[in-house]
Each structure stands twice: as C-alpha cells, then as structure tokens.
Amino acid sequence: GSNERTFISVKPDGVQRRLVGEIVHRFERKGFKLVGMKLLQASAEQLREHYRDLSEKPFYSSLVKYMSSGPIVVMAWQGHDVVKSARKMLGETNPADSLPGTIRGDFCVEVSRNVVHGSDSVESAQREISLWFEHHELLCWEECSQPWIYA
C-alpha cells in the first residue's frame, strides 16, 4: 500500500562525504514522503541489534565499528512499495555490482564503505524504524503533491 514505510540511513562515510543532501534529494524527487529524520551518533549496542541477523558473519564486528565511527542520518520514508523501490535506488550490497544511476553505483567503491542502508523487507523496516525512532518522531502529514504522484 501507499502507507508502506522503509528505514534508510546515511552511513558515517556518506555523512563525511557530504552525500546527505544528494540521498535525501533522490528520495524526494522519486515521490516518497519523508516521515522521520535525525542526525545521531549510534552506539555499538544499537548497531549490534540493528545488524543482529549478521552476527555470525566474519565482518560483523568491523561493520559495527564502521557504523559507530561517526554521525549517521536515520530516515523513515513512506510510499507505494517503498521498501522494494528504495532497495533498487540503493543498488546492490557490493558497489561493484551496482549499476550507475543507483546511489551505491554512483558514489562508492567498496562493500564495507557503501554509504547507505535500506531495509530489505516490510518486516525489517518495521523493526528498524522502531529501533531508531520514538513514536512521536514519526509524522503523519498531508503532502500537497500527493494527487500529482498517485492516481
């Protein structure tokens, strides 16, 4: 439905490389609605929880270290099929496999510095949004462009 939400985050390399505006711009232009956004320093504990499905992977501890190495921007975006569309806009996990035109295809080189996160399913989006946002930080608002984006 058009009320679907996904969790997107600009990772520490994306913030350091001044890509926050570019990434927000892409989701705005696509037609998705921003319903939550903040800059924060994530704790290792939060990141271990965020990436708990990867806890057995050999790169898990370096991933947590990288993700806690500087400020990140966390966002919730809403719209029709936003989880799947956002994953397409991000590109593949490995930037080397990401097509030009995707965020990872355009702005990064290594899998361990891939500038942006996006939820992989509606269920993980719900889990991640509730991990990073308080209920009151998520806004329901009327977009004046809505009738020009949805028939």
Q: 23 to each of 1, 43, 97, 104, 118, how far by Cα in Å?
A: 23, 23, 19, 10, 12
Active site residue 117: yes
27 is known to lie in a ligand binding site: no
List of residues 6+ apart from 140 with CB closer than 8 A: 35
Spatial separation of the C-alpha atoms in residues 15 and 88, rounded to whole Å? 21
87 is known to lie in a ligand binding site: yes
CB atoms within 10 A of CB 142: 6
Give whichever of 33 and 117 is closer to ligand DAT, judged by the CB atom: 117
Interacting residue with ligand DAT among 22, 106, 120, 143 (CB under 6 A):
120
Interacting residue with ligand DAT among 93, 121, 145, 146 (CB under 6 A):
93
11 is known to lie in a ligand binding site: yes
Question: Taking CB positions, which residue lies at the least distance from ligand DAT?
Answer: 93
- Which residues are at the interface with Mg ion (CB under 5 A)? 120
By annotation, the residues acting in catalysis are 117
